[in-house]
Amino acid sequence: MIQIGLTGWSDHDLICPNPKRKLEDYAAHFPVVELDTSFYAIPSEKNINSWIQKTPDVFQFIPKAYAALTKHKDWHQEFDSIKKMFEIYKKAFEPMIMSGKVKAFLFQFPPNFTCNREHVEYMRLIRRLMRDLPIAVEFRHRSWYSEEFKEGTLNFLREMAFIHVVVDQPQTPNNSVPFTPIATNSDKTIIRLHGRNYEGWLGEDAENWRAVRTLYNYRDDELEEFKQTALALVNDSKEVTVIFNNNSGGHAAQNAKDLQKMLGIDFEGLGPRQLGLF
């Protein structure tokens, strides 16, 4: 099975034109969404229950792990211990987990999370503290895919039952990884598409980096590459989920719709769609 989704539901005017029902409109088009707000703060019980209620039964979320869980920030000022931090995070998402609406928790590590013993041990800790919950791993430092460590990285992901996030992004010197379309989990694989804006990905424009980082519109021939990749990976994973994150210019929704058409996929069980869209 191949599914397609986007990062967030607030900035896709093509499919979510009504500001009062953004999530409901989104859930009429795609069966999965990446939840990015959970990276910046652990969501409240009220918000999580609202998201559950606004989406159909088949709809699922990919919550992004809170920044302190992935070493983007220090945990000491907020929590008594690492264990407590994970307990609070899991407790917050318990309603979503129990309702079957979590496809996977996305642990996207920062560019300084290199392939070394300390970080491997931290990932083992993540697995212990998250227990058997589905965890998707996205690396941002290319050392994990170096000739020396690539095979060990993929075997480690398999050993820990981690879901490999296959990344498409500009190949900049210090904050990117190579496109590596390999599955490490027999149940799920995620393909995450950031676009190919080289200058924007470099991050040299400190003031406007959010506006340009994922500013990219995939061409049809590039979407065809992702189609073939997804079709190949579905032989190794029961579910392959393609997430479009190239939305600095609002291109993600149309690219996702185009890929859906190329694959000839009709998603079942979605919410009611408003008239006049597609």
Overall number of domains in the chain = 1
d(CA 240, CA 227): 11
Whether 173 is in a domain gets the answer yes
Q: 208, 210, 229: which is closest to 218 by C-alpha?
A: 229
- Report the chain's C-alpha Rg in angstroms: 18
d(CA 122, CA 166): 21
pLDDT exceeds cutoff 70 at 94: yes
d(CA 158, CA 79): 30
- Is pTM beyond 0.85? Reply is yes
Q: 54, 64, 63: which is closest to 18 by C-alpha?
A: 54
Q: What's the mean pLDDT in 122-133? A: 98
Whether 38 is in a domain gets the answer yes
pLDDT of amino acid 276: 53
Whether 56 is in a domain gets the answer yes
Question: Is residue 98 classed as helix, strand or coil in its secondary structure?
Answer: helix
Residue range of the domain that includes 52: 2-263
Q: What share of the chain is helix, strand, coil (3-state, %, to 5)?
A: 35, 15, 50
For the chain, percent of residues with pLDDT exceeding 70: 96
pLDDT exceeds cutoff 60 at 121: yes
CATH number at residue 33: 3.20.20.410
Whether 277 is in a domain gets the answer no
Angle CA 122–128–130, to nearest 5: 100
**pLDDT, tens only, 151-200:** 999 999 999 999 999 999 999 887 889 999 999 999 999 999 999 998 88
Whether 161 is in a domain gets the answer yes
pLDDT exceeds cutoff 70 at 10: yes
Whether 268 is in a domain gets the answer no
Which band of pLDDT confidence, cut at 50, 70 and 90, is reported for residue 220? very high
